[in-house]
Amino acid sequence: MHAVFITLALLTVTGISSLISRVGRIPVPLPLIQIAVGAIAALAGLNIGFDPDMFLLLFIPPLLYADAYRMPMREFGELRNIIIMMALGLVVFTTLACGYFIHWLIPPIMLPAAFALAAVMSPTDAVSVGSMIEGGRAPARVVHILHGEALLNDASGLVCFKFAVAAAMTGLFSFQQALGSFIFMATGGIVIGIVVAWAACRAEHMLLVRGYDDPPTHITLAMMLPFGIYLLADAVQCSGILAAVAGGMTVKFTGVMNEARTETRLKATTVWDMVNFTFNAVIFLLLGLQLPDLVTGGAAIARAGGISPWFLILAIVGIQLMMSLIRFAWIWISISARRLFARLRHRNTVIPSARNVLLMTVAGTRGAITLAAVLSLPVATLAGPGFPGRDLLVTLAAGVIICSLVLASVAIPPLLHGMSTDEDDPSLHELDMMRIELAQTAIEALHAEQAVLAQQELDTMPDGSESVDLKQEAIGRLLHEYQDTLRRLDNSRAAEASIRATAIREKRTELALRFRLIRHMRERLHMRVVQKLINDETELTINQELDFIEQELQIEARSLPRPDGLPHASTHGGAALPETGCMAPALTD
């Protein structure tokens, strides 16, 4: 009963925090609001224990799996060198440099313990990184680098943390053993993730070929896949985190979801979106729920050591500033090295601006992995001693997590203000170009069909002309539709800019009118239910039909280009295009 109450309480607080953010229009990132709501709930009496192992198993595999699935594979391949430098080199550099700084700043913390604290704070958090920069005007290359780094640096950070903890507890450390362990954990995790995901995709393919495509079954098994991959890798002492990431990328690479029915893909997208939203929110709520105890414990530690709690706050700020300086320096070194190698090879390379470097620096927030790992430090019991200075390290790590989120929430909006996206980013142009190519393909196929029908009309008997006329009529309507799409999208000739702008305005007006018609139809449908002229099953069936129509219209509205001089996609002539609501879930990869 207690577990059920905790689950219901977390879900309720999750919904309330999101409602506060949207209705209150508070200019604060949602993660900070959720942390604050969690802290208030804890002060109000909601006490929830924190099991690090259970936390890592329940939340991390599905979130990293989904993030890896949505990671653009082409951009990941193009940026692999800088992503690896950030995910591996920066973690080691941060562990060493920040470890010495922590030991210098707070001498009672032994050097191995300082290395452990620096290592556990070195991985960036994929959840908070995404919530901070998504939806803004951050350049696509910067977003891809940050996401790729957050997906991969957990493994390197946890390996450094593991050996620093062992050195602090036993006084022994072997570089060869640490390197070998990292290679085994990383390689084994990646191989397990690829093999298990590939086997699951082959099994899914065989079922789909035989016609077994039941959406609830498919989605349930797909939801269990990241947990299975993580548990299998963890059972053989490999990195479950990298296994989940590799599994998500493998599933995307196989393209098995493209073979499923449309209904399955739509429902799967909705379920994954809900899991992503709920788990992200619960992670920050749990952090907020632990915050009052951590603050109280930190103040008690400071008083017991004969120092002011303000010194602890200054130490947290100092550690965060040092980690930001280290991150800025490493990014600058990586960019300089990349520029040097490009010159030696006589190749062109894209060099981020100083503003983008600052954005990448402050976007390196800490979160779930840091909190879960630092809370896993051994506690003193009758069976054995605890980790030296555990409570102080937990307090410092929690403080740095909050400090990094506050720094990002304060610094990222000004950095993004007025920033233009990468003009060289192909993804900004290829979407419209692909739509143009597909429209041209459809027009060519329709013209070929017209030619075949014209020949049939010459060869057929007079009594068969009615069927040919019906086909010609249908082809004419489709040709008009695709030619209209081509006029809206094709901006290759400046002389036709006015024609394109007119076509886009006409389409906006048409879509606004269609949305209003659907709203009126829903009102009439509900009226007939109230009047008991139709039953609930009829209402449900027709509402589902209207949902699919509205979903298609919303996708079409989002695909409309926005050339200079045209109004925003949401308005034209006083007619508003509604945003995607709960009736039509957003579609993602």
Q: What is the pLDDT along the chain (589 residues), one digit of tens a residue?
A: 567 877 888 888 888 877 877 776 776 777 788 888 888 888 888 777 777 778 788 888 898 898 888 888 877 887 888 888 888 889 999 999 999 999 999 888 888 899 999 999 998 886 666 666 665 567 778 888 888 888 888 878 888 888 888 888 877 777 777 778 888 888 999 999 999 999 999 998 888 888 887 888 888 988 999 999 999 999 998 888 889 999 999 998 888 887 887 778 888 888 888 888 888 888 888 888 888 887 887 778 777 777 777 888 899 999 999 999 999 999 988 888 877 777 777 776 666 778 888 888 988 888 878 888 888 888 766 666 778 778 888 889 988 988 998 888 888 888 887 666 554 556 656 777 777 788 888 888 888 888 877 777 666 655 556 666 777 778 888 888 778 777 767 665 544 566 667 777 777 888 888 888 888 888 888 888 888 888 878 888 888 888 888 888 888 787 776 544 444 433 333 334 444 333 333 333 3
Residue 274 region by backbone torsions, left for phi larger than 0, else alpha for psi between -120 and 50, else beta: alpha
Q: What is the pTM of this model?
A: 0.76
Question: Are 337 and 468 found together in one domain?
Answer: no
Q: What is the rounded CA–CA span in Å between residue 543 and residue 546?
A: 5
**Same domain, yes or no: 116 and 241:** yes
Is the domain of 417 the same as that of 436?
no
Distance CA 550, CA 347 (A): 48
Tokens of 493: 């000739």
Residue 346 located in a structural domain:
yes
Domain identity same for 292 and 197 = yes
Q: What pLDDT score does 587 carry?
A: 35
Let me know if residue 315 belongs to a domain: yes
- 3-class state of residue 576 by DSSP: strand
Q: Which of 423, 441, 464 is the last residue of a domain?
A: 423
Say whether both 403 and 480 belong to one domain: no
> What pLDDT does 292 receive?
85
- Alpha carbon of 479 to those of 440, 445, 452, 482, 499: distances in Å? 10, 10, 15, 5, 18
The predicted structure's pLDDT at residue 384: 64
Residue owning tokens 């017209």: 450
The predicted pLDDT at position 232 comes to: 95
Question: Hey, what amino acid is at 523?
Answer: E
Question: Domain range holding 343?
Answer: 52-423
- Residue 381's pLDDT is 64
Alpha helices in 365-464 (DSSP H): 368-375, 390-416, 427-459
Question: Domain boundary residue among 423, 444, 475?
Answer: 423
> What DSSP designation does 376 have?
T
